[in-house]
């Protein structure tokens, strides 16, 4: 019989308050402390962690084989219910705070005392740290397959349009002639470096499970066994660090940020290339949008959004770093916010990688338009200086000679160094105190088409470098059976 005026029992079974009411009594407090909105998506990882923990508990005789059977049955049922019902699963209760407590409560409802034993020797602090490691590892696979798709798209485009000669830019001023493929493979290399970062995350192979709330447990938990059950190769050394740290999340957000940074640089470059002024590329209509007012417009919004979403991704990294910087060692509730940022950054980067692959697959380089402007900017000036070096002129002197020749061209209104005569070249040599070494073969070193054939250093951005790199990328990206 209930006494009138007796406090209603707290809906959070783990709160033991004097009043009998807890943080669930104020709906704002209930919502404020809850992470359910965003940590629901950890349900498979949470269940995976719980099963590994329960199997270990059975192994060390803290629960019976019957308990384990019940726990596994219950958790597997819960997993399929959530998979089927998603956000509509009736077990999601904001007053239970998070994915961990909702699943545990549902398990207890299904299995009674067996479920009540699951949390033996465990805290949400090591539980959530474990879930996060599992999620990060799994989501890296998603990242890798997206990288692969984008890499294939770059290679495909490089094979199609890669030999087109184009200007390169330093300071966004015309520099030296290159081939389109070399620039495409530059983006590809940058992105592959980004992918590599996902494989060197702090602690992503380390199981924090068994670290408890902060100090471990006085029960004989076999941490190595639960780690093995999770396919993690090792266990954390120090229970305080293991529960206080979100290094794996920060590293992951950094890897995402670097990916975003490179995607953003690429997007910026292609936005410029798609302008009327440049006209180097044409984006597919699918990936441009019109203006609500100007009927002629085809704006590169998808590229702009790839660039723009970098703000969100960097923001997530900053949020995580800032969130951690003032915390005493040990779990603090601030850490709950980590997942919000990690998930947001991950979702944005996945979308951007997918979108980038579609854009790369459908973009065309406009050979004619690029060719029309190729003679502008004396792209072959460095090549001419190197020609003089092959004839024995010291580089600093040849640099001076060519500087003078470019000036001559400008004075004469010539756009191309190849319009100069042998006498012009030799006069510039003698003016700079060098022998007149220019011969007819100088013209083989001039003109962008000639220059891209002459580069011979390993990794060059001309034809030989591009072809060599393309070959090695095709080898590297070959599907492994």
Which positions are catalytic?
A: 171, 291
User: Is residue 252 near ligand ARG by the rule CB under 6 A?
Assistant: no
Least distance (Å) from ligand ARG to the CB of residue 131? 8
Range in contact with ligand ARG (rule: CB under 6 A) among 121-129, 153-161, 437-445, 458-466: 121-129
Best CA proximity match to 397, nearest among 384, 407, 409, 378? 384
In the complex, what is the shortest distance from the CB of residue 244 to ligand ARG, in angstroms, rounded to a whole number?
11
**How many residues form the binding site for ligand ARG (CB under 6 A)?**
10
- Residue 469: closest CA among 480, 479, 478, 458: 458
Ranges within 88-107 binding ligand ARG (CB under 6 A): 98
Specify the DSSP element, H or E, that contains 320: helix 301-325
The stretches of 118-236 forming alpha helices (DSSP H) are 124-161, 180-197, 223-229
128 binds ligand ARG (CB under 6 A): yes
- What is d(CA 209, CA 330) in angstroms, rounded to the nearest whole number? 15
Q: Does residue 35 touch ligand ARG according to CB under 6 A?
A: yes
Sign, Cα dihedral of 222, 228, 231, 237: positive
Residue 124 lies near ligand ARG (rule: CB under 6 A) = yes
Nearer CB in complex with ligand ARG: 186/214: 214
Interface stretch with ligand ARG, choices 124-132, 202-210, 408-416, 448-456 (CB under 6 A): 124-132
User: Where in 281-340 is the site for ligand ARG (CB under 6 A)?
Assistant: 331, 333, 335-336
Taking the complex as a whole, the smallest distance from the CB of residue 36 to ligand ARG amounts, in Å, to: 8
Letters for 162-181 (x = contact with ligand ARG by CB under 6 A, - = none) are --------------------
Stretch near ligand ARG under the rule CB under 6 A, chosen from 122-130, 226-234, 258-266, 460-468: 122-130
For β-strands 173-179 and 165-170, DSSP reports them as: antiparallel
50 near ligand ARG, judged by CB under 6 A: no
Name the residue nearer to ligand ARG (CB basis): 108 or 249. Answer: 249
Longest dimension (CA), the chain: 114
CA distance linking residue 457 with residue 165, whole number of Å: 18
Residue found under tokens 């060390």: 60
Confirm if 378 and 388 have CB atoms less than 8 A apart.
no
C-beta of 53 vs 124, nearer to ligand ARG: 124
Structure tokens at 131: 């879930």
> How far, in Å, CA of 98 to CA of 120, rounded?
18
What's the min distance (Å) between Cβ of 250 and ligand ARG? 15
Give least dist CB 342 to ligand ARG, A: 11
439, 429 contact by CB (below 8 A): no
13 vs 373 by CB, closer to ligand ARG: 13
Cα distances from 308 to residues 259, 268, 288, 349, 360, in angstroms, run 13, 10, 15, 11, 18
Q: How many whole angstroms separate alpha carbon 45 and alpha carbon 35? A: 16
Among 77, 72, 73, which residue's Cα sits nearest to residue 57?
72
> Smallest gap, in angstroms, from Cβ of residue 359 to ligand ARG?
36
What are the residues binding ligand ARG (CB under 6 A)?
35, 39, 98, 124-125, 128, 331, 333, 335-336
């Amino acid at each position: 019989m209930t006494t009138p005026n007796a406090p209603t029992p707290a809906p959070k079974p783990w709160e033991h308050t004097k009043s009998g009411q807890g943080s669930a009594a104020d709906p704002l407090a209930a919502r404020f402390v809850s992470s359910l909105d965003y940590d629901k998506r950890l349900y498979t990882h949470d269940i995976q962690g719980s099963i590994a923990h329960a199997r270990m508990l059975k192994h060390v005789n803290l629960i019976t084989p019957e308990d384990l059977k019940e726990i596994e049955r219950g958790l597997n049922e819960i997993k399929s219910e959530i998979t089927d019902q998603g956000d509509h699963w009736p077990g999601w209760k904001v007053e239970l705070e998070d994915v961990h407590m909702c699943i545990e409560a549902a398990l207890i409802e299904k299995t009674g005392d067996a479920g009540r034993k699951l949390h033996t020797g465990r805290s949400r602090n090591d539980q959530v740290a474990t879930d996060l490691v599992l999620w990060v590892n799994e989501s890296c696979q998603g990242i890798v397959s997206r990288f692969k798709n984008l890499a294939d798209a770059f290679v495909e485009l490089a094979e199609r349009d890669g030999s087109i000669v184009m200007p390169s830019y330093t300071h966004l001023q015309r520099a030296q002639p290159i081939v389109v493929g070399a620039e495409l493979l530059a983006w590809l290399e940058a992105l592959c470096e980004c992918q590599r970062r996902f494989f060197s995350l702090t602690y992503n192979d380390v199981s924090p499970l068994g670290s408890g709330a902060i100090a471990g447990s006085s029960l004989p938990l076999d941490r190595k066994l639960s780690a093995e059950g999770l396919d993690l190769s090792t266990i954390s050394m120090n229970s305080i660090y293991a529960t206080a740290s979100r290094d794996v999340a920060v590293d992951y957000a950094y890897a995402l940020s670097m990916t975003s940074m490179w995607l953003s640089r690429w997007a910026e470059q292609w936005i410029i290339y798609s302008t009327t002024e440049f006209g180097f590329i044409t984006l597919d209509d699918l990936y441009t949008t019109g203006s609500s007012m100007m009927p002629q417009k085809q704006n590169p919004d998808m590229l702009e959004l790839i660039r723009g979403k970098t703000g969100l991704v960097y923001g997530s990294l900053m949020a995580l770093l800032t969130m951690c910087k003032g915390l005493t060692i040990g779990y603090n509730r601030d850490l709950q916010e980590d997942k919000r940022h990690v998930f947001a950054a991950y979702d944005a980067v996945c979308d951007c990688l997918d979108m980038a692959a579609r854009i790369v697959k459908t973009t065309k380089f406009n050979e004619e338009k690029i060719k029309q402007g190729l003679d502008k900017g004396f792209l072959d000036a460095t090549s001419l200086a190197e020609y003089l070096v092959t004839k024995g002129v010291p580089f600093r002197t040849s640099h001076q000679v060519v500087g003078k020749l470019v000036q001559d061209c400008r004075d004469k209104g010539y756009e191309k160094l190849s319009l100069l005569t042998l006498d012009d070249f030799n006069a510039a040599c003698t003016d700079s105190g060098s022998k007149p070494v220019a011969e007819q073969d100088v013209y083989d070193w001039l003109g962008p088409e000639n220059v891209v054939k002459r580069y011979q250093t390993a990794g060059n951005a001309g034809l030989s470098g591009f072809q060599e790199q393309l070959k090695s990328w095709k080898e590297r990206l070959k599907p492994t059976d």
